[in-house]
Structure 1
Amino acid sequence: MHWHFRDKLGLFLALDERLVLLQDEMKQRLCSEEDGSLPTMARAITTAIKDFEENPRRRRLLTIMLHRCEYVAEMAPALLRRRQADAEVRETLRQRFQEVAERGGLSPAWPPERAALFLYALVSGFLHEWLRGEADFTLSGEVSDAIRSFLDCVAARPGSGGEK
C-alpha cells in the first residue's frame, strides 16, 4: 500500500483522512436524536462506543494515531483535525445539556459547560486507556455503565429546584 504514496507521511495523512473518529460518530448520533433527554444522550454515546469497540480496524488506526505517533510539523493537519473533532463534540454535548437544563432535567449543581466537559473527559479518558491495550474493562460494558451513572448523577432530582 505504501507504494501508492510519495512517502510515509502521505500514507499517514491518507489513513487519517479515512479514519472515522469516535468524536465524529458521537456528534453525529447526538445530533440525529430528536429527543435530547439524558437517557437519549446515553444511548447515542454508548451506541457510538459499542460500534467503535466492535470495529478492530478503527481500533488499530486510532491506536496508531493517538499512541504511536509523534506529531511533527508535517502532521499538523491530523492533529488539527483531532482537536477540531474534540471541540465539536464538546460543543454538541454542551448544547444537549443546555437543552436538558432548559427543560429542568439538569441539576442546578451542573452547568451545561461543566457537565459537557466532565462527560467528554470520562469518555475520552476511558477510550485512551482502552486503546493502550492493557484495560481490564470493555467500552460497551463498564464504560457504558459509567456514562449512564454519570448522567444519572447530573440529572435534576424532584424537589431540587431543577425541575420545571
Structure 2
Amino acid sequence: DMVSVVTRQREADLALQKLFESVIALAATRGRLTPAFSPELAARALLLLVNGSVLDWLRAPGQFELTATTMPLVAGFLEAISTPKAQPAADHARRALFLGV
C-alpha cells in the first residue's frame, strides 16, 4: 500500500529532521551556527540534501557511490553554516610573533 509507504517515509524524515535540529541547535548554543540559519532551517536543508542524494542514487543505479558522493556535500554544507572557530589566544600570540604584528 503506497499510503503506508509514504507515511513511513514522512515519519522517518521527521525523526531525522528532529535529530538534525537537536545537534544543530547544540552547535547554535555554542555560537557555531551562522546567524543566517536557524537550527530548523539548517536541519531542513540538510535533510533535503541527504534525501536528494539518496533519490539521485536510486534513480541512477551504479552511477556513483552514495556515501563517497554525499559525505563531501554534507561536510561542505556543515562548513558553510558554521561560524569560524574561535582562535585560541596562544595560537594568536604565536601568529603575531611569526608575522611581526
Query: What range is the shorter-chain TM-score in?
Result: 0.7 to 0.9
1:145 aligns with 72
2:40 aligns with 113
Number of aligned positions between the proteins: 86
Residue 16 of structure 2 is aligned to residue 89 of structure 1 = yes
Residue 34 of structure 2 is aligned to residue 103 of structure 1 = no
Shift of 1:158: 5.2
Corresponding residue to 2:58 among 126, 131, 135: 131
Pair member with larger Rg: 2
> For 1:112 and 1:131, how far apart are their aligned partners in 2?
28
| TM-score of the superposed pair, with normalisation by structure 1 | 0.48
Contact 1:94 1:115 in 2 (8 A): yes
1:81-103 deviations in Å (ceiling 9; x for gaps): 11111111111111111111001
Contact 2:32 2:85 in 1 (8 A): no
Alignment root-mean-square deviation, CA: 1.8
Unaligned 5+ segments in structure 1 are 1-8, 10-70, 160-164
> For 1:82 and 1:146, how far apart are their aligned partners in 2?
22
> For 1:135 and 1:106, how far apart are their aligned partners in 2?
36
Runs of 4+ in 1 over 4 A off after TM superposition: none
Once the two structures are aligned, what percentage of the paired residues are identical?
A: 29
| TM-score of the superposed pair, with normalisation by structure 2 | 0.75
Aligned pairs (5 A) from 1:15-164:
71=2, 76-133=3-60, 136-157=63-84
Unaligned 5+ segments in structure 2 are 87-101
Shift of 1:119: 0.6
